[in-house]
Structure 1
Amino acid sequence: MHATQMPTHDDPLDVETFARPEQQRRYTAAMHRIAAERRTGDPVRVYVSAAPKTTTDANWQRWLKRITEDLPDGVELLHYGSAFEGQPYAWEALVDQLDGLVVIGRPKRLGSRVHVLGPVARLELRSMVAQKPVLLFTHNLGLVPVIDCKSQVMAPSEAPRLKLIAPKRWSRDSATLQAALDALRPVDGNGQGPEAHRDTADHLVAPFIGRRAVS
């Protein structure tokens, strides 16, 4: 069932995705294009965006390990500490070197599908969401493509936060996740990687046309 169909029990979160079928098709086509254009030996770098409180949590290394396991083999994982190494934060200089983004928000409660991103993470997401795979890390579902989530900008207006809600019936077998993972799969020296897909979008912004803007 798609998000555009009537959810059961009058629960608006009881859907597989908040993206419309056409948005899903455009998204997967865009991810296939990225995968098809990757060359043998190209490094694949994914940045994990997390608040300082998250990176100092006792579970931080365990979460990084789980994200690494959920991503394709060979992906290089970066985060604030490893990317900037004590240097001033310079996202604009880093973002063009990245192939994907994983955001870790503050869950509403343990096991919740509602996650809140701070102002910095929201801006990092905005800079990549229309171009590269962007995934929300959830403790109960694993990695969920942001396109499948419902987004809501939150106060304060001078430094807005972003609420992301994962759909209740989202599945790891979803076409959007598999396409995003293919887009992040390195191609080894034997040419092994995701198969080239002929059905590709003309540009990478197309999947997000018509969606509620993350402003």
Structure 2
Amino acid sequence: MAKEHLDPIHNFARPGLAVDVVLFTIKDHDLKVGLIKREDDPYLGKLALPGRFVRYDEPIETTAKEALKLKGGVKPESVFLEQLYTFGQELKRDTRIRTVTIVYYGLVESNKIDFQKSNLLHWNSAYDLPPLAFDHKKIIEYAIHRLRKKVQESDFAFQLMPEEFTLSELQKAYEIILNEEQDKRNFRKKIIELHILKDLKKKKMEGAHRPAAVYSFIRNKAK
């Protein structure tokens, strides 16, 4: 039986390989996404996700961190990064070259962002996006879908929370991410049953209500 003929590897076109980062935070009671203004064609002046092409000798996650640092002005060590998806089905998503992009989403608690120094980023509502470069609007919409799925199935929302918080603050974060109100009793029952909260035995005033218990996340139980 004759061996199947295989083309040499040099007969295949090499697409450009890029990394883009969908960086989320919660600020002003809204889910924000960090965008940059493009300084080159194509889409000169349009807002886009921070990203860049991958160097030949560079790990993929390093590219993601460098994109945040150089293009977004954000310290990568303060950001939780996880690979999201690979986009490249549309052959002409980039008019310069056939491009495949590996997308990460980054989650960062807003107190870890120096909004004065990270002025390269435009923090836009993830629910009210302007026209964006490339297929970045579609990428952000997919990232929101995955983020919502994650927070409903695991403790993923804690990546967006401060070190200490009340149950009301945690519930508000879930409501912002899911874009819908949560029943207070059912939400608290579900969260407490996960056994991922540590009661810090102190109280915090929340408006005119009685002081609320303060919690932290038990990180060694992260899923």
TM range, smaller chain: under 0.3
TM-score by length of 2: 0.27
TM-score by length of 1: 0.27
More strand by share: 2
